[in-house]
């Protein structure tokens, strides 16, 4: 089973409440879920609306995991 990148590696600017919120929204493989949404061509704001998370949180996670945005 893939390791949880949010649990193993502290993401700057996110509290533990934020981490639980992200895991609840994005599931057990959050970086892969986020990468897929970016591959679909969605912006951070659109992804945030879809998952009911603030866009700055999506941007923080995308940058932390090195997921490039075409936007």
pLDDT in tens, 39-70: 999 999 999 999 999 999 999 999 999 999 86
DSSP assignment, residue 1? Answer: -
Is 13 in contact with 63 (CB distance < 8 Å)?
Answer: no
Predicted local distance difference test score (pLDDT) of residue 9: 57
pLDDT tens for 8-33 read: 555 667 888 988 999 999 999 999 99
DSSP annotation string for 6-46:
HHHSPPTT--HHHHHHHHHHH-S-HHHHHHHHHHTT--HHH
Task: Record the pTM.
Answer: 0.80
């Amino acid at each position: 089973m893939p390791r949880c990148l949010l649990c193993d590696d502290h993401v700057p600017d996110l509290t533990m409440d934020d981490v639980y919120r992200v895991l609840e929204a994005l599931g057990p493989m959050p970086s892969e879920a986020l990468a897929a949404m970016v591959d679909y061509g969605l912006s951070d704001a659109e992804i945030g609306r879809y998952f009911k998370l603030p866009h700055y949180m999506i941007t923080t996670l995308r940058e932390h995991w090195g997921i490039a945005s075409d936007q």
